[in-house]
């Protein structure tokens, strides 16, 4: 009888060790739900809630880059990041680039319009860092907007930024020219 009791206790101890050992290896995940909107003027590519999973050990939670990588993996949409995998460079037909405005086009001195993807979290621009160092919390709203930046005609070395205006048709002209020449490259120097 003692042999059966000792054998049974030994078997229970081994099973307990296996169960506890398998639980220790399982990493606990934390879900963070955020609302993501990606827009280029009146064109809205994404406007939905997503749930990001991060390690319970991660004190910061998911980054803005994590949200974009989630969309890359889960949306049927062309989305590209820069070479470092951090900054949004392209969504659909809209990509970071510059456009030289010639004097005959608007009667002013030539100038450059820079187009790029800019983001806010809960309506505020990030104070510093890139998308991989800005973090999201549960119920945050992340909005990426295709943005135009032009020199301020009244103040040298200052720029005016505004959401892309689909009515201007300027980016459509850039796309048409790049399709004709086969030169539709994105400009990484403009990464946000």
Q: What are the pLDDT digits (tens) for 24-69? A: 555 688 899 999 999 999 999 999 999 999 887 778 889 999 999 9
Can you give the residue ranges of every domain in the chain? 29-190
Separation between Cα atoms, residue 131 and residue 192, nearest integer Å: 8
Q: Which residues contact 112 (CB under 8 A, 6 or more apart)?
A: 98, 99, 100, 101, 150, 151
How many Cβ atoms are within 10 Å of 37's Cβ, its own excluded?
16
Judged against a pLDDT cut of 60, whether residue 10 lies above it is answered with: no
Q: Cα–Cα–Cα angle for 16, 24, 18, nearest 5°?
A: 25
Separation between Cα atoms, residue 50 and residue 5, nearest integer Å: 53
% of the chain at pLDDT higher than 70: 71
Mean model confidence pLDDT for the chain = 80
Q: Cα–Cα–Cα angle for 130, 133, 139, nearest 5°?
A: 105
**Architecture of the domain made up of 29-190:** Beta Complex (2.170)
pLDDT in tens, 98-137: 888 776 666 677 888 899 999 999 999 998 888 999 999 9
Cα 156 versus chain centre, distance: 32
pTM: 0.74
Judged against a pLDDT cut of 60, whether residue 9 lies above it is answered with: no
């Amino acid at each position: 009888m003692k042999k059966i009791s000792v054998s049974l206790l030994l078997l229970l101890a081994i099973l307990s060790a296996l169960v506890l050992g398998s639980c220790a290896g399982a990493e606990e995940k934390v879900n963070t739900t955020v609302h993501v909107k990606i827009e280029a003027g009146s064109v809205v590519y994404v406007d939905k809630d997503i749930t990001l999973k991060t390690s319970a050990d991660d004190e910061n939670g998911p980054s803005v880059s994590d949200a974009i990588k989630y969309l890359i993996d889960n949306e049927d949409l062309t989305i590209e990041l820069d070479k470092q995998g951090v900054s949004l460079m392209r969504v659909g037909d809209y990509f970071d680039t510059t456009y030289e405005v010639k004097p005959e086009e608007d009667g002013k001195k030539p100038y450059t319009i820079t187009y790029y993807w800019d983001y806010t979290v809960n309506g505020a621009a990030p104070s510093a860092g890139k998308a991989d160092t800005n973090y999201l919390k549960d119920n945050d709203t992340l909005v990426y907007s295709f943005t135009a930046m032009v020199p301020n005609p009244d103040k040298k070395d200052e720029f005016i930024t505004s959401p892309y205006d689909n009515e201007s048709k300027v980016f459509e002209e850039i796309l048409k020219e790049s399709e004709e020449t086969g030169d539709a490259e994105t400009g990484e120097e403009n990464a946000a």
